[in-house]
Amino acid sequence: MNILLFNQSELQDNQLTLNDRRAEHIRKILRAGCGDQLKTGQINGPLGRATIREINKKRVILQVELNVPLPPQPKTSMILALPRPIMLKRILSQATTLGVSNIYLINSRRVEKSFFHASLLEENNMLPHLLHGLEQAGDTRLPKISIHQRFKPFVEDLLPEIGADSPARLVAHPEATSFLPELIEIPLQEKVLLAIGPEGGWIDYEIDKFKEQGFRPFTMGPRILRVDTAVISLLAQLDLLKSSRFKVLG
Instruction: Report the side by side order of strands in the sheet with 76-81.
Output: 144-148, 102-106, 76-81, 192-196, 168-172, 216-218
pLDDT of res. 247: 58
pLDDT of res. 250: 46
Among 162, 156, 149, 152, smallest CA distance to 78 is for: 162
Domain 4-68: homologous superfamily in CATH: Hypothetical PUA domain-like; domain 1 (2.40.240.20)
pLDDT of res. 77: 97
Three-state helix/strand/coil letters over 47-75: EEEEEEEEECCCCEEEEEEEEECCCCCCC
Q: What is the pTM of this model?
A: 0.93
Class of domain 76-241: alpha beta
Residue ranges in the chain modelled with pLDDT below 70: 244-250
User: Any idea how long the chain is?
Assistant: 250
pLDDT of res. 176: 92
Domain locations along the chain: 4-68, 76-241
Q: Is the distance from CB of 185 to CB of 216 less than 8 angstroms?
A: no
pLDDT of res. 152: 97
pLDDT of res. 199: 87
